[in-house]
Chains A and B, each alone.
Chain A
Amino acid sequence: EAGVAQSPRYKIIEKRQSVAFWCNPISGHATLYWYQQILGQGPKLLIQFQNNGVVDDSQLPKDRFSAERLKGVDSTLKIQPAKLEDSAVYLCASSWEGTGGETDTQYFGPGTRLTVL
């Protein structure tokens, strides 16, 4: 079974520039998550999708961050314009929501390390 795919793996930009990250979840997983992980901290949820609808974006800085999940499959997270404090690893995860089995386990992608100069 293919895992969660993310690209790019690394990105270096200057402040005020724009950047976009892509995530393709595990096939059949209805829920998709974007996390921000600053060095030395645990992952912080930015946005959670159920199929193509947003169920939680309370910690997403909406003045500069946006995310979409068209057709309920892959997703894009965008930052425009970037700030120095956005330097972090951006993790995408997905989970299968159903009855029985491993319904509540999140599977993570390798992450995108963003450096803002």
Chain B
Amino acid sequence: AQTVTQSQPEMSVQEAETVTLSCTYDTSESDYYLFWYKQPPSRQMILVIRQEAYKQQNATENRFSVNFQKAAKSFSLKISDSQLGDAAMYFCAYRSQGGYQKVTFGIGTKLQVIP
């Protein structure tokens, strides 16, 4: 079974600075998807960024980018120019490519943005 590990329960960053959230996963599959989701205090979970394992190029969405290291099974999220609205829980998730494509979530990292 796949597992997703987020080793940073809480992180803080100064407004306008850069922060990196860590995620590692364990799998025997070669093809899969990885996601970062954001969950603000209102609890609506929204997608931040996704990465297909077969793509070597790291995904980027505006101020959000990932560092995908397939061999190391590492998938970190970098937030540049942090804003107050970035404060939330961030969940790393893994999705199988085959079968019924089950999704496994990490336990999350709480990000605090300091004005």
Contact = CB atoms under 8 A, between A and B. Distances in A.
B102 A104 contact: no
A107 B50 CA distance: 13
B54 interface: no
Q: Chain B: interface secondary structure?
A: strand
Interface residues of A, number: 24
B102 A111 contact: no
Interface in A93-117: 93, 102, 104-111, 113
Contacts of A55: 100
Contacts of B45: 43, 91, 93, 108, 111
Given A48-B100, A56-B100, A104-B50, A43 B105 contact: yes
Contacts of A93: 45
Q: Chain A: interface secondary structure?
A: strand
Contacts of A82: none
Given A91-B45, A105-B35, A42 B102 contact: no
Interface of B: 4, 33, 35, 37, 42-47, 50, 91, 95, 100-108
22 contacts: A42-B91, A42-B105, A42-B107, A45-B103, A45-B104, A48-B100, A48-B102, A56-B100, A93-B45, A102-B50, A104-B33, A105-B35, A105-B50, A106-B47, A108-B37, A108-B44, A108-B45, A110-B42, A110-B43, A111-B44, A111-B45, A113-B43
